Amino acid sequence: MSAIPQTITQKILAARAGRSEVSPGEVVVCRVDLAMANDVTAPAAVSAFRKMGAARVWDRERVALVASHFVPAKDIASASLMSTMRAFALEQDIAHFFDVGRGGIEHILLPEEALVLPGDVVIGADSHSCTYGALGCFSTGVGSTDLAAVLATGEIWLRVPETMKIVYRGAPGRWVMGKDLILAVIATIGDDGAAYMAMEHTGDTLAHLSMDSRLTLTNMAIEAGAKSGIIAPDGVTLAYVDARRRATGRAREPVVLRSDEGAAYARTVEVDASALEPMVARPSLPSRSVPVSEVEPVRVDQVFIGSCTNARIEDLRVAAEVLGEERIAPEVRAMVIPATARVWRQANEEGLLERFADAGASVSTPTCGACLGAHMGVLGPDEVCVSTSNRNYVGRMGDPSARVYLANPAVAMAAAVAGEIVHPSDVRAKEAVGARG
């Protein structure tokens, strides 16, 4: 028993540092449960790994390498990056290597694969590695050299973060999802409002949120500058984890921890989820989020429904629900990119992909591509995009003059149908007017 009440983040880091308790601000060395890199970050990590004089990764069962960013290879250079990662995976007999067609976007893939579990310390060479915290683990993003050090030693130094507690109250309204909750928080605290902190999401609203929506909440911790995002495991978490462990046959046990009564928080932020509208982040910062009804009229060139933020099955179902029997507006190109092979197959079985295609949307194979302006949906000069991804920075999705509005999949699909940013309910309203007229 700890003498001083601890947050869930302190408890996880203490356990992996071999300590009974740790305090915010101190530096600890933690054992890592899973290390992850992708096709952009792994090749540089492999190079650093070799320069460190390392011969073998510390534990082949605890490394995941995922082809996600420039896949399927967009050019010869990106094919070469993939070859480097593939060769390293073979050489080191990496247990969890996901090539094109068998994986997808890592942050949706690893929870599906039961490779990240409650109680873990997860280190990923991708900034959105904070996503896994929705399962009740500590998870953070690092660069390639930090990841190389983990591959070589199985350990990482971490400054124990202070925790910001976010308390959500009430049931979210129609078309309000995890995306809207986190955009509302970022609008309140700012783009570095949680800098260096753990964001712990709590409150009765969580009972209304699926695992998919929760993963969106923790996914965007980095857009508030946070080190990690976390949600203490509950029945929803454990049902998900058990189902995924059974489906994949992975037997590693979850460790369920919770924050103590009286644990110290650097700041507490309260959000009335029942009063929220769907949110839209105006260009070019996530903190410029406002309720959809307050967004100025803007014509839309492209709609992107995808990315590690919103390309899970719930996201595609919501998009299909908004779409109904409508068609994509003629002046809009809409792209739907399911996050993983599993999400793709499930959406296919449910008839969602066919519905999107019938409506005039492009449906593609899993890739991060468009989110970072890498390929498969790069924006040209002055174009406007509504995207379900996580960053609307200058040049993020293509030309620096392009403008990106971030939104949930309901708002994104509404924009695809209407040709402008509208409330998802207004798509149906127009339809009703049309039927009457």
Partner 1 sequence: MGRAWVYGDNVDTDVIIPARHLTTFDVDVLAAHALEDLDPGFAAAVRPGDVVVAGSNFGCGSSREHAALALAGAGVAAVVAASFARIFFRNAINVGLAVLECPEAARGTSTGDEVEVDLDAGTVRNLSRGATWSTEPLPAIAQEIARAGGLVPWVRARLAAGP
Give the interface with partner 1 as residue ranges (CB under 8 A): 27, 40-41, 43-44, 47-48, 51-54, 69-70, 74-75, 77-78, 80-81, 125-127, 129, 141-146, 148-149, 152-153, 157, 159, 191-192, 195-196, 222, 225, 227, 285, 372-374, 391, 393-396, 400
Closest CB 222 distance from partner 1, rounded Å: 8
CB of 52 to partner 1, least distance (A): 4
**Closer residue to partner 1 (CB): 226 or 271:** 226
CA 230 – CA 375 distance, rounded (Å): 31
Tell me the closest approach of the beta carbon of residue 372 to partner 1, in angstroms: 4
What tokens were used for 80? Answer: 């070469």
Pair 390, 286: CB distance under 8 Å: yes
Query: Smaller CB distance to partner 1: residue 23 or 80?
Result: 80
Decide if 251 contacts 150 (C-beta within 8 A): no
The 10 Å Cβ neighbour count of residue 21 is: 16
If the CB atoms of residues 143 and 419 are measured against partner 1, the closer one turns out to be: 143
Min dist. Cβ of residue 383 to partner 1 (A): 15
Nearer to partner 1, 54 or 266 (CB): 54
Sign of CA dihedral 168, 172, 176, 177: positive
- What are the backbone angles phi and psi of residue 211, rounded to the nearest 5°? -60, -40
Between CA 94 and CA 61 the distance in angstroms is 7
Do residues 164 and 199 make contact, with C-beta atoms less than 8 angstroms apart?
yes
Taking the least distance from each CB to partner 1, the nearer of 189 and 211 is 189
Measured from the CB atom, the residue of 111 and 398 that comes closer to partner 1 is 398
Identity of the residue, 324 or 400, whose beta carbon is nearer to partner 1 in the bound complex: 400
**Minimum gap (Å) between residue 99 Cβ and partner 1:** 18
Taking the complex as a whole, how short is the minimal distance between the CB of residue 290 and partner 1, in angstroms? 18
Instruction: Count Cβ neighbours within 10 Å for each residue of 338-352 and write b for 16 or more, e otherwise.
Output: bbbbbbbebbeeeeb
- Least distance from partner 1 to the Cβ atom of residue 265, Å: 19
Per DSSP, 209 falls in state -
Q: What size, in residues, is the chain?
A: 437
Q: Extract the runs of DSSP E, i.e. beta strands, from 34-104.
A: 34-38, 63-66, 96-98
Pairing verdict, β 279-281 and 289-291: antiparallel
